[in-house]
Amino acid sequence: MKLKRSAGVLLHISSLYNKTGIGDFGPSAYAFVDYLAQCGMSYWQTLPLNYTDGGRGFSPYSCLSAFAGNPLFISPEMLVEEGLLSQDDLCDHCFEENIVEFDKVNAYKTSLLTKAFIEFEKKDSFEFSEFCKKHAYWLDDFALFLSIKNYQGGAWWLDWPAELKNRDSKGIAEIKIVLDHDIKKQQFIQYLFFKQLNTLKNYCNYKNIQLIGDMPFYVSHDSSDVWCNPEFYKLHKDGSPAKVAGVPPDMYSETGQLWGMPIFNWNVLKKSNYDWWVKRIKHTLLMCDIIRLDHFRAFAAYYEIGSEEHTAINGKWLKAPGNSFFTTVLKAFGDLPFIAEDLGEIDEPVIELIDKFKLPGMKLLQFSFTENTPTSIHSPHNYKQSNVVYTGTHDNNTLLGWYKEEISDKKKQVISAYYNKVINESNVNTEFIRAAFASVAALAIIPMQDLLHLGSEAKMNRPGSLHDNWMWRLHSEAPLNEELAMDIKNQLALFNRICC
C-alpha cells in the first residue's frame, strides 16, 4: 500500500467528549470528523473497537472476540432518533468530565441497550435479519458464547459445564433453547454497533477522512474465537493454554513481559489457507479503511512461553510463516491495506518482510533522542517516504509529560542541539509536531493530547499497570477551536500534507 503525503490524528472513540460518559458513534464523533476536515487532516486513527469488559480492565487489546464490536460505542442519542429510546432515558445521569468511569458507563449503557431491545422486539426488521445472515459465520458463535458466559455468571469458558466447554452438540442445542432471547439481544447489539459505525465511516469518507483501525496480533483465551476454534491455538487437552505469548527481557524489564494469550498453531492455520485470518481482516476492514497491525514482528517470529512459567525469561523465539501468510492475504485482497507496528526490538527478517510486501512502518520521535541519535531509525533525517511518523503512541507518555518527567538533562541537550534552538516545556510540542510534518515520511499521525499540549494526566495507557488505563477523554472545554485548526492547516499546507 502506498500512502499519499498527508497527516492525521490519533484519538480513540472512547476519548471523545459527550454527556453519556464515554465517546461513541454519535454527534461528538461527527463533530470531530468535521474538525479534522477543517484542520486539513486526512486520517483518524483509533485503537481496536472490539468487545471488551471489566474482567480485562476494558482494554481494547484484550477482547472477547476478534470480530464483535464494543457496545459502549453505540450512541444513545442515535437510538433516540430511531425511536428505540426516549429522551427521558438519557436524563439524570452524571459522569466525570475528563475520564471514562467504565463500570458506571457499562451499567448505564447495558440498561439502555436492554430497553432499546425491548422496543425493537415490537417491530419486524428485514435489515436486522439480513445482518444476521451476512455475519452468521462469526455472529452466531459470539452471541451464543456471550449469552452462556452471562448465564454462567461471567465465568471463564474453561469453568463452564463440560458439555458447554467442549461444545457437545446436544448440550449446545439445549442451551440455545434456554438462551434464545438473550442470544437475539446480543445479535441486536452487534447490529446496532455495525450500523452506527458504518454510517460514521461513510461520513468520514465523504469528508475525505479515512479511518485507521488497529488489530491486536493475539486474541484472549477467554474469547469466542478460542472456544469455537481450539485447534487454531496451542492448548492442552483440557482447553487450557499450553504455550502463551509475551516478549523476552530487555532494557525496560529484567523478566520480560508475560502477556498470557494463547499462541497460534500456525501449522493448522496454514493448512486452512489462513481462512480465519482472511475473514478477520475482511471483517476488520468493515470497521476502518486501513489496519495497523499491532506487534507486527510476530508475523516473522514469535516469542513462545510455557504456560507454567511465571515470567517471560524462559521463552524461545520460533519462526512464523510471514511470507506465506502475506502472500495469501495479498491474493485475497489485491492490496495490503496495512501499517506495520514494527516498534521495539526488531531484526533483519522483520525488515525483510516489511520491504518485500512494501508495508509502511512506524517511527516515533520520542524514540529518536538517545546516544545513537545520528543513526537512529527514529530520527527524522533517517526516515523513508514509506514511513508513518508519530510523536508518540497510546503506550507512551504524552510528549509534554515525557519531556517533563521521563528524560534526562543530557537528553534534553541532545534535543536542543538537534533542533538548533533551545527546546523547553513551552515549545517542545510545537517543534516536534513541526518536525513530524516536515519529515519525508508519507504520513504523520499526532495524538490529540500532543496537539493540545497536554501533560501526563492525559496518558492513555500505562503498560504493566492494571489500573487507570484507557480512561482519558477530551474535556468539554478542550480548545478544539478555529485558531488551532487554522494553525494546523497552515502547517500542513506548508509541508504539502493536504492531499484532498
pTM over 0.85: yes
Residue 134 confidence class, pLDDT cut points 50, 70, 90: very high
Residue 432 confidence class, pLDDT cut points 50, 70, 90: very high
Q: Helices 136-151 & 180-206, crossing angle to 10 degrees?
A: 130
Q: According to the model, what pLDDT value does residue 476 have? A: 83
pLDDT for residue 247 is more than 80: yes
Residue 500 confidence class, pLDDT cut points 50, 70, 90: low
| 499 occurs within a structural domain | no
Q: According to the model, what pLDDT value does residue 92 have? A: 67
Q: What is the rounded distance in angstroms from the CA atom of residue 233 to the CA atom of residue 243? A: 9
Q: Per residue in 49-60, is it b (16+ CB within 10 Å) or e — as a string?
A: bbbbbeebbbbb
Active site residue 395: yes
pLDDT for residue 381 is more than 90: yes
| 296 occurs within a structural domain | yes
**Which residue segment(s) compose the domain that 452 sits in?**
6-494
pLDDT for residue 108 is more than 80: yes
| 256 occurs within a structural domain | yes
- From the list 214, 341, 342, 450, the catalytic residue is 341
Average pLDDT, the chain: 95
Measured distance between the N- and C-terminal CA atoms of the chain, rounded to whole angstroms = 18
| 500 occurs within a structural domain | no
CA distances from 251 to 183, 255, 257, 427 (A): 47, 10, 12, 29
Average pLDDT over residues 456-468: 86
The answer to whether residues 475 and 405 touch, using CB atoms and an 8 Å cutoff, is no
The number of domains in the chain is 1
| 1 occurs within a structural domain | no
Average pLDDT over residues 134-154: 98
| 265 occurs within a structural domain | yes
Q: According to the model, what pLDDT value does residue 326 have? A: 98
| 441 occurs within a structural domain | yes
Active site residue 214: no
pLDDT for residue 117 is more than 80: yes
Q: How many residues are there in the chain?
A: 500
pLDDT for residue 124 is more than 80: no
CATH number for 56: 3.20.20.80
- From the list 231, 395, 405, 425, the catalytic residue is 395
Q: According to the model, what pLDDT value does residue 182 have? A: 98
Q: According to the model, what pLDDT value does residue 91 have? A: 75
- From the list 53, 141, 225, 294, the catalytic residue is 294
Average pLDDT over residues 280-299: 97
pLDDT digits (tens, 9 = 90+) for 327-375: 999 999 999 999 999 998 889 999 999 999 999 999 999 999 887 899 9
| 349 occurs within a structural domain | yes
Average pLDDT over residues 196-210: 98
Active site residue 163: no
Q: What is the rounded distance in angstroms from the CA atom of residue 122 to the CA atom of residue 59? A: 35
Provide, rounded to the nearest whole percent, the portion of the chain with pLDDT above 90.
90
